[in-house]
């Protein structure tokens, strides 16, 4: 199948990958856009894994206010170099992450940030609920596992579906940008305020 400029452009706009990578992905998938996207995601994940050990201490602190000042977000996103940290693509990513936090109120950045006490609490809640509903004892571990997975999807930033494209997670969005920009990128910390709330959602 002939790979057209329009197909490459469409894939590039969707994934943020480079032109040559988009052409290669379309060639590998015989012009199938969805398969090409999967190919690029896998490539992005491999690239991200290789780069994840590299130090990222440049970047930006993005500020975002929503709803006429009813919700405010401050997030620090780091890159390896000031050059990438000042680029439009990187700034756009930082803004998108701030929007994500404003919209979804995550509590943690990574699964590894969740304290053991929180896991224990959620396990007890899920177990008690399942017993109250009369679920058989034998399937309780599976029910608890499902409840914990749901909790992590909802409250861990990197596990959340990306608000603009729920077919990918925030981690996959980050991986796409790591592959496109050629540097390790990390979300270091964030804080989210909502007007009238007594508590502050903060992750560091």
Q: Both 84 and 163 in a single domain? A: yes
Q: Both 97 and 198 in a single domain? A: yes
Q: Both 40 and 137 in a single domain? A: no
At 170, which CATH number?
3.30.479.20
Q: Both 102 and 43 in a single domain? A: no
Q: Both 160 and 101 in a single domain? A: yes
Q: How many CB atoms lie within 10 A of CB 134?
A: 6
Q: Both 130 and 44 in a single domain? A: no
Q: Both 39 and 64 in a single domain? A: no
Cα-to-chain-centroid distance, residue 158: 4
Of residues 118 and 56, more confidently modeled: 118
Q: Both 45 and 74 in a single domain? A: no
> Residue 170: what pLDDT?
95
Q: Both 84 and 160 in a single domain? A: yes
The range of the structural domain enclosing residue 123 comes to 115-153
Q: Both 88 and 185 in a single domain? A: yes
**DSSP-derived secondary structure for 34-93:** HHHHHHHHHHHHHHHHHHTTS---EEEEEEEEETTTTEEEEEEEEES-HHHHTSHHHHHH
Both tokens of residue 70?
């009813």
Q: 96 in helix, strand or coil? A: helix
Domain count, the chain: 3
Taking only the tens place, the pLDDT of each residue in 167-198 is 999 999 998 888 888 888 999 999 999 888 75
At 40, which CATH number?
1.10.8.10
Rounded CA separation 36/23 (Å): 9
Cα-to-chain-centroid distance, residue 79: 16
> Residue 184: what pLDDT?
86
Q: Both 160 and 96 in a single domain? A: yes
Rounded CA separation 122/28 (Å): 44
Q: Is the pTM of this model over 0.85?
A: no
> Residue 109: what pLDDT?
95
Cα-to-chain-centroid distance, residue 105: 13
Please check the confidence at residue 64 and state whether its pLDDT lies above 80. yes
Q: Both 119 and 132 in a single domain? A: yes
């Amino acid at each position: 199948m002939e790979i057209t400029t329009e197909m490459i452009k469409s894939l590039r706009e969707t994934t943020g990958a480079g032109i040559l990578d988009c052409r290669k992905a379309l060639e590998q998938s015989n012009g199938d856009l969805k398969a090409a996207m999967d190919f690029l995601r896998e490539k992005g994940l491999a690239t991200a894994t290789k780069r994840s050990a590299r130090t990222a201490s440049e970047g930006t602190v993005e500020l975002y206010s929503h709803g006429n000042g009813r919700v405010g977000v401050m997030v620090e996103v780091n890159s390896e170099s000031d050059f990438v940290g000042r680029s439009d693509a990187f700034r756009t990513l930082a803004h998108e992450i701030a929007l994500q936090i404003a919209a979804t109120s995550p509590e943690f950045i990574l699964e590894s940030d969740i304290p053991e006490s929180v896991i224990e609490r959620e396990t007890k809640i899920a177990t008690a609920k399942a017993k109250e509903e009369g679920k058989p004892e034998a399937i309780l571990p599976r029910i608890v596992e499902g409840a914990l997975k749901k909790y992590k999807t909802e409250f861990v930033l990197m596990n959340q579906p990306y608000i603009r494209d729920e077919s990918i997670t925030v981690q996959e969005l980050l991986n796409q940008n790591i592959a496109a920009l050629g540097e390790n990128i990390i979300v270091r910390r964030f804080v989210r305020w909502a007007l009238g709330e007594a508590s502050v959602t903060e992750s560091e």
